[in-house]
Amino acid sequence: MKVRLGLDIGGTTVHGIAVAAEEPHHVVTEETHPTRKGGDGVVGGSLDMVAALRSALPPDAEIVSIGLGVPGIVNAGAVTHAVNLGLDGDPLDLAALVSAGADGVPTSVENDVKAATLGGLQWLREQGSDIDDLALLNVGTGIAAGLLLDGRLRHGSRGMAGEIGHLVHDPTGPLCPCGRRGCLELYASGSGVRRQWAGTAAELFEAAEAGDADATRIRDELTSGIAQAITLLAYSVDVSCVLVTGGVVSATPALREAILARLRADENTSLGRLAGIAERVRWLPAGHPAGALGAALLGAGDEEVRSWRS
């Protein structure tokens, strides 16, 4: 048996899976460990996860690749600006360090949202879709997108393709930690809700329905912000599908309905009808391991990813 390992390294937990190296890439085993911070912690925690997954595999299993998804800027396997992992200084050559500690198994590292885009594409394949242009919009603590165009992940000239959370949504809005005012992330994210509301997004919608003025304002900002992000992705790169994921939307059906209603309202114009943005939106099921699955599929390479279209 040949398998690929995928690690989705978050600020709190590391989710690791082993999947069959060949289609349909079914999950063989999985583990969840607490995240360890700092350079040594991230490398050591990754190797501990590799060892745990290896020990759970059949004795004849061969690990052909390891992939890691991390919340930071990634360039040629090195990670910078992963503040939630305690990495905000010199680049950490995570790919080389993990490979060296894992008996030389080829190792790839990718930004976590970009990696999850590959996992989202695999889910769409399983649903019978044959698209090759996809934006995965992750609405979690922040908001960011991964772009897969013509079967290839788009990184951009500086690795920042899809980093839309710090586009300005309201120039008169509050100061963002990035230094700008009114960034999209301050409204259309879990942290944006928590900045203004003590409860969950579901409780926010309930309070708004009951007539709470503050809840209504925050609900409308959240809805319009996510709808704007979807519209931006649809208009800028004209993807066939915007696949939306993240706890904020997965746990709140009323939010999903409100986003679609906002997008359909834009179809009152001729351009809006032509764009048909609402019909492009899909919701990744709650609990789907897109991050870890996509990390595992990093080792498959672009040629295999593009072959999923056929």
Domain map of the chain by residue range? Answer: 2-117+289-307, 130-283
Interval 151-170 mean pLDDT: 89
Is the pLDDT at 196 greater than 70? The verdict is yes
Percent of the chain that is helix, strand, coil (3-state, to 5): 45, 25, 30
Report the side by side order of strands in the sheet with 281-283: 152-153, 143-149, 134-139, 241-245, 281-283
CB 65 within 8 A of CB 87: no
Is the pLDDT at 170 greater than 80? The verdict is yes
Tokens representing 243?
Answer: 């696949």
Q: Which pLDDT does position 304 carry in this prediction?
A: 53
Interval 202-230 mean pLDDT: 96
Q: Give the Cα separation of 201 and 218 in Å (integer).
A: 10
Share of the chain above pLDDT 70, in %: 97
Q: Do domains 2-117+289-307 and 130-283 have the same CATH topology?
A: yes
Q: Give the Cα separation of 204 and 87 in Å (integer).
A: 34
Interval 288-295 mean pLDDT: 95
Is the pLDDT at 36 greater than 80? The verdict is yes
pLDDT in tens, 59-117: 999 999 999 999 988 988 999 888 889 988 789 999 999 999 999 999 999 999 999 99
SS3 category, 1: coil
Share of the chain above pLDDT 90, in %: 76
Q: Which pLDDT does position 305 carry in this prediction?
A: 52
pLDDT in tens, 241-268: 999 999 889 989 999 999 999 999 999 8
Tokens representing 167?
Answer: 């586009």
Q: Does domain 130-283 have CATH number 3.40.50.10380?
A: no
Q: Give the Cα separation of 22 and 125 in Å (integer).
A: 14
Is the pLDDT at 300 greater than 90? The verdict is no
Matching residue, tokens 């099921």: 285
Comparing CA positions, the residue from 178, 65, 70, 49 lying closest to residue 114 is 70
Note the CATH architecture for domain 2-117+289-307. 2-Layer Sandwich (3.30)
Q: What's the distance, Cα to Cα, between the start and end of the chain in Å?
A: 25
Tell me the Cα Rg of the chain. Answer: 20
Q: Which pLDDT does position 177 carry in this prediction?
A: 82
Is the pLDDT at 303 greater than 70? The verdict is no
